[in-house]
């Protein structure tokens, strides 16, 4: 069987830092977006709820399609493209002239941002060895959770002390900084290992014989290639 290929420790840290910057930047301006809606467009409470829906719901609704798309394409390219598009949409928020344009931009931004985390998870799953995978994915989850808690708080303070545009600018800068960490060192190298017995179950359902045969055939083909 071919030797497993895995990320060096430095690349694992690189992926972790890129994930932290990306997630922190994505949540830093959440309060600022609502503040802009309130003070620039003078929205009603009902309209504020609509703004919140446009800010969060598109990525959630399309999450299954986004996951399938990420599985079928290069996660590194998807991460890079989503970060560039998200940074561009963040800048466009500052130039939105009316509420309709504003909601359209933040909805597009929500979709762009939703591609990043599945791509990062796929990079980790395919490059981190099985012995370290659970711990590494747990670390990614912890980092994401902390960023989602701390970033809106810090963004809200920046909006209150300076201006509502500052969190958006900082978000764009952090997003572009995270892009530096998603480079060719994180190119995907699937592990050439036969699935373990515990991995042959997904959410309590056994994998069908056809899928099991395909996995075994794929591993065998790679071993002799």
Give the Cα separation of 52 and 173 in Å (integer).
23
Q: Is the pLDDT of residue 97 over 90?
A: no
The answer to whether the beta carbons of residues 11 and 181 sit under 8 Å apart is no
Going from the C-alpha of 26 to that of each of 122, 149, 157, the distances in angstroms are 19, 12, 16
Torsion, Cα 201 76 29 98, to 10 degrees, reads -110
Q: Is the pLDDT of residue 23 over 90?
A: yes
The 10 Å Cβ neighbour count of residue 140 is 20
- Both tokens of 50, joined, read 């609509």
pLDDT at 15: 86
Give the Cα separation of 25 and 16 in Å (integer).
14
Give the long-range contacts of residues 51-58, CB within 8 A, separation 24 or more. Answer: 51/99, 51/102, 51/103, 51/106, 54/103, 54/104, 54/106, 54/107, 54/110, 55/30, 55/106, 55/107, 55/110, 56/110, 57/110, 58/107, 58/108, 58/110, 58/111, 58/114
Element (H, E) at 201: strand 201-202
pLDDT by residue (tens digit) across 146-194?
999 999 999 999 988 898 889 999 999 999 999 988 876 666 544 433 3
Mean pLDDT, to the nearest integer, of 54-62?
89
Mean pLDDT of the chain: 80
- Both tokens of 202, joined, read 């997904």
pLDDT at 131: 79
The answer to whether the beta carbons of residues 30 and 155 sit under 8 Å apart is yes
Residue in the structure block whose two tokens are 């809106």: 152
pLDDT at 126: 77
């Amino acid at each position: 069987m071919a030797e497993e290929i895995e990320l060096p420790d430095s690349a694992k840290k690189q992926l972790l830092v890129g994930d932290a910057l990306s997630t922190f930047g994505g949540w830093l301006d959440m309060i600022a977006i609502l503040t802009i809606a309130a003070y620039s467009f003078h929205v009603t409470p009902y309209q504020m709820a609509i703004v919140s829906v446009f800010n969060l719901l598109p990525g959630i609704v399309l999450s299954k399609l986004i996951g399938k798309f990420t599985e079928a394409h290069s996660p590194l390219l998807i991460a890079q493209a989503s970060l560039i598009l998200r940074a561009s949409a963040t800048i466009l928020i500052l130039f939105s002239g009316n509420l309709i344009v504003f909601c359209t931009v933040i909805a597009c931004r929500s979709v762009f941002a939703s591609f990043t985390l599945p791509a990062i998870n796929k990079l980790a799953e395919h490059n981190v060895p099985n012995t370290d995978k659970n711990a590494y994915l747990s670390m990614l989850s912890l980092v994401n959770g902390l960023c989602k808690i701390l970033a809106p708080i810090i963004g809200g303070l920046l909006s209150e002390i300076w201006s509502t545009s500052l969190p958006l600018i900082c978000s764009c800068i952090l997003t572009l900084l995270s892009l530096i960490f998603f480079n060719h060192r994180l190119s995907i190298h699937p592990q050439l290992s036969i699935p373990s017995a515990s991995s042959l179950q997904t959410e309590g359902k056994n994998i069908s014989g056809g899928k099991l045969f395909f996995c075994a055939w794929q591993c065998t083909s790679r071993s002799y290639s």
